[in-house]
């Protein structure tokens, strides 16, 4: 039987000479391994189950051409099947968007279970808000906003200092975050932490959601922190 998707993960670098790293809550409990595609390949990231790249592939992120604001990414999610369940895969596309100096990333996917399965829209938005401040001393990162759902503050939103934890400035629910440390020069072994929040954590959005949230988090981290593509400018946090 497949394990429940972990609510919290951080990066562990086991080999300084290879472009790969593992993800887990602790170094002795590594849940995933991430490898990067060959230079010049359209495959950016591959997510493997377990502590090595010998594990089953659970997700593949590929470039599928330029969008008007940058590269589009297609994520093929292949979660381990549950007992009595046929393998169930799906692909969802993440698109970059920009308005003046603000850049964010959008994707849609089917969430829920059974008869309640339906499509929803999500956005990765830059943040230095309270949801990530416990992750690092000088944290910066992105929050995943569930565009069609109100946050725990009944959708009131508002400025960072006064709004409800887990709610965006426009009153939407925050269902995941990732963070790294603010540094002047990007480094290939940059720290990375990821956490599911709200309905992303409870399982309400279905078992595919965690994989999609993690893959798109890793991709925005590669673009914005590791600077995989030079055409992506440094981000400016949104409130």
pLDDT 10s digits, 13-33: 877 666 789 999 999 999 999
Q: Output the pTM of the full model.
A: 0.89
Q: Which residues of 24-62 are buried (b: 16+ CB within 10 A; e: fewer)?
A: beeeeebbbbbbbbeeeeeebbbbbbebeeebeebbbbb
Residue 238 has pLDDT above 50, yes or no: no
Residue 232 has pLDDT above 60, yes or no: no
pLDDT tens digits for 58-93? 999 998 876 555 678 999 999 888 766 656 788 999
Q: Given the structure tokens 């230095």, which residue do they identify?
A: 128
pLDDT tens digits for 177-223? 999 988 766 666 778 999 999 999 999 998 899 999 999 999 999 88
Could you tell me if 32 and 48 are in contact, meaning their C-beta atoms sit under 8 angstroms apart?
Answer: yes
Q: So what's the pLDDT on residue 103?
A: 80
Residue 230 has pLDDT above 50, yes or no: no
Q: Kindly state the average pLDDT of the residues 109-127.
A: 91
Higher local confidence (pLDDT), 56 or 113: 56
């Amino acid at each position: 039987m497949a394990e429940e998707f972990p609510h919290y993960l951080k990066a562990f670098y086991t080999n300084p000479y290879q472009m790969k790293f593992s993800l887990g809550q602790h170094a002795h409990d590594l849940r995933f391994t991430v490898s990067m595609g060959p230079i010049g390949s359209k495959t950016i990231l591959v997510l493997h189950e377990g502590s090595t790249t010998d594990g089953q592939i659970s997700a593949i992120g590929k470039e599928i051409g330029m969008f008007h604001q940058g590269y589009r990414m297609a994520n093929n999610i292949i979660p381990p099947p549950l007992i009595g369940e046929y393998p169930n895969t799906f692909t969802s596309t993440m698109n970059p968007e920009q308005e003046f100096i603000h850049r964010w990333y959008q994707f849609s996917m089917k969430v829920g279970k059974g008869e309640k399965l339906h499509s929803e829209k999500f956005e990765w938005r830059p943040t230095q808000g309270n949801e990530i401040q416990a992750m690092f001393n000088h944290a910066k990162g992105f929050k995943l906003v569930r565009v069609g759902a109100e946050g725990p503050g009944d959708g009131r939103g508002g400025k960072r200092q006064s709004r409800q934890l887990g709610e965006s400035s426009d009153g939407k629910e925050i269902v995941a975050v990732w963070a790294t440390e603010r540094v002047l020069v990007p480094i290939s072994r940059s720290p990375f932490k990821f956490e599911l929040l709200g309905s992303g954590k409870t399982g309400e959005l279905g078992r595919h959601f965690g994989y999609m949230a993690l893959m798109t988090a890793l991709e925005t981290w590669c673009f914005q922190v590791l600077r995989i593509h030079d055409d992506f400018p440094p981000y400016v946090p949104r409130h």
